[in-house]
Chains A and B, each alone.
Chain A
Amino acid sequence: MFSRAYRAVVTVPPLLWVTVFLLIPYALMFCYSFWMVSTSQTIVHSWSLANYRQLLTVDVYWQTLLRSMWIAARVMLFSLLLGYPLAYFLSFYAGAKKDLFYQLVIIPLWVSYLVRAYAWKTILGSDGVLNTLLQYVHLTKHPLEFLLYSPFAVVLTLTHIYTPFTFLPIYASLEHIPRNLVEASSDLGASPAQTFWRVIFPLSIPGVLAGATFAFVLSLGDFLAPLLLGGPSGIMISNIVVSLFGAAYNWPLGAAISLCMLVLVVSLLFVSERLEKKWSFS
């Protein structure tokens, strides 16, 4: 029904743009990761595996990567623990108030990411809201120091940011479950717990996977929350990349780390997509 010219007009410009601003930059990142910085602080276009060798042999790089994955895994877990029951409650028990509650979950997303991270900083600091409150009601005599500038602060803040994102696809998948399946299950004598674990939960797995992947991947690459709230013990892999592209001036090594992250993310997406296909019944 659509002519060749029509198809060319809608295809060529986005294709060109994507090639120039996405494909070529990723390719450049790939190239950079094999280049070097000379002693006179210029980037030499000579190819070697030295950057990758460094990644494998210098402990701080892969240790930080592992720590970032551990932080991201905790954020994912807590977001699911907070987001899933909330989605379940909204979808099955909230009745007419459903839409209102749904908007209430979305609204925090409209407050800037940076500003919410900053708000947590003002809450957790040693003369912050929480510590002064605890002293005001005489629960503690001295400020609790572990609250801010720790992996705890990073996990808390990122969980706060990604819980609504985890909630959304779970809620959508719960909403798509035909209600007569649930009725049939209880008519046939299943207890509410059985109905949940054997009917509702399996049908919501695609949503859980989407939410979990989103939370994990985006917290893994975060560098602002660790800079703002993490302190030395909360440094994540992206912070190393930022410093390599800044003061430490070693773009090629930074590119090598970024490329590893890119590969990691794309493989995670691949796995998650496979699993989702396996679990979707429609």
Chain B
Amino acid sequence: MEFLVSATNGSIRGSRWLLLHSVFVFAFLYLPIAVLIVYSFNGAGVGGFPPRNLTLDWYRTLFSDGAIWESVGNSLIVAAVAVVIALGLGIPAALALDRAQFPGKTLFRRLVLLPLILPGIITGLSLLMLFNEASIKLSLLTIVLGHGTALISVATTEVFAGLQKLDRAQEEASLDLGANYWQTFLRVTLPNLRLSIIGAALLIFTLSMDEIAVSFFLIGRDNTLPLEIWGRLRRGITPEINAISTIIFVFSLVAIVLWYRLRRSAEGSPEVAAELIETAVQGAES
């Protein structure tokens, strides 16, 4: 008992430093976001302390800025199609990794997951060379193909994790009772993977909306939102960018809260992103 008490005293002293450190890290993580939001209301533009002349002007400018909204529209389309491609191939890929044996399976797994950890520039450039050799003109389509390909990794990881938790007996029962493979897939496998699939879709959508390193090389005439922002940043700093970022941040927050509600009600505390990074580094040992 005495040991325990002394151990606890020591750790309380230790934990005070840890608490201080954690407060510092949170401040570091949130400082730029706070600055971003505050200066979206600053009449005097970005920079300059203290902020003065609070105003909604930048939001007004933003709402009448056609180019930005066009790029938001493009990004939404790209993200939606990327979700379809990544899920359309990621779900079968996860099933294949889980339940099929074929030559080159290890190589296949590593290739699928590689874009998770590879700097975007390599994925982007290698696809640029492909499109160049195949004489395909760069457009939103090439960006969609790039996003879809890079994000199959996310779909595969998430769905594969879901399959590992799946009770095989349910599928066996369905097959024994006379359902064919297709019916079993639609009525047993898919409903059981529902959460993994929704989670993957949300993650893919967000990652695609934010993607710039791959898009940078595959862009045609039409800009996605990050590339539109990039173009403006090169010309100079404008509070309009703070305003659009603030709006997107609020939307993302709503999405996260909804997602965690859903997930919490189903299976307790989530560790989605951690799974993803470990898989990325380890090449998904199964």
Contact = CB atoms under 8 A, between A and B. Distances in A.
Contacts of B112: 14, 18, 22
A112 B210 CA distance: 6
B252 A110 contact: yes
A99 B131 CA distance: 45
Contacts of A224: 212-213, 216, 230
A189 B152 CA distance: 50
Interface string B70-95: 00000000000000000001101101
A189 B121 contact: no
A191 B14 CA distance: 12
A171 to B, nearest CB: 7
B188 interface: no
B133 interface: yes
Contacts of A29: 122, 125-126, 129
Q: What range describes how many residues of A lie at the interface?
A: 35 or more
Given A28-B133, A112-B248, A165 B121 contact: no
Contacts of B68: none
Interface string B162-186: 0000001001100100000100000
A172 B32 contact: no
A11 B102 CA distance: 8
B117 interface: yes
A144 interface: no
Interface string A171-202: 11001000000000011010111010000000
B283 A115 contact: no
Given A22-B149, A254-B125, A123 B49 contact: no
Contacts of B32: 116, 119-120, 123, 160
Interface in A98-115: 99, 101-115
B127 interface: yes
A18 B117 contact: no
A191 B21 contact: no
Interface stretch (B56-64, B190-198, B268-276): B268-276
A41 B262 CA distance: 56
Interface string A264-280: 01100100110010000
A125 interface: yes
Interface residues of B, number: 94
A164 B241 contact: no
A128 to B, nearest CB: 5
Interface string A2-44: 1101110111011101101111111011001000000000000
A213 interface: yes
Q: Is the interface of A mostly helix, strand, loop or mixed?
A: helix
A14 B100 CA distance: 13
B277 A3 contact: no
Contacts of B28: 82, 160, 163
B237 interface: yes
Contacts of A193: 10
Interface in A217-231: 217-218, 220-224, 228
B67 interface: no
A22 B114 contact: yes
Nearest to B245: A115
Contact of A25 (B126, B237, B255): B126
Given A29-B126, A218-B119, 9 more contacts: A7-B99, A82-B25, A110-B252, A115-B245, A121-B233, A129-B35, A160-B28, A168-B277, A221-B120
Interface of B: 3-4, 7, 10-11, 14-15, 18-19, 21-22, 25-26, 28-33, 35-36, 39, 46-50, 89-90, 92-93, 95-96, 99-100, 102, 108, 111-112, 114-115, 117-122, 125-130, 133, 145, 149, 152, 168, 171-172, 175, 181, 206, 209-210, 212-213, 216-217, 226, 229-230, 233, 237, 241, 245, 248-249, 252-253, 255-256, 260, 269, 271, 273-275, 277-278, 280-283
30 contacts: A1-B171, A7-B100, A10-B92, A14-B108, A17-B152, A18-B152, A22-B111, A26-B126, A28-B129, A89-B15, A106-B273, A110-B206, A116-B33, A116-B36, A121-B237, A122-B35, A122-B36, A122-B39, A132-B49, A163-B28, A169-B278, A172-B278, A186-B3, A210-B278, A214-B281, A218-B119, A224-B213, A241-B125, A258-B122, A273-B282
Interface of A: 1-3, 5-7, 9-11, 13-15, 17-18, 20-26, 28-29, 32, 82-83, 85-86, 88-90, 93, 99, 101-116, 118-123, 125, 127-129, 132-133, 136, 160, 163-165, 168-169, 171-172, 175, 186-187, 189, 191-193, 195, 206-207, 209-211, 213-214, 217-218, 220-224, 228, 238, 241-242, 245, 251, 254-255, 258, 261-262, 265-266, 269, 272-273, 276
The 6 closest A-B pairs by CB, nearest first: A221-B119, A25-B126, A119-B32, A14-B93, A172-B274, A7-B100
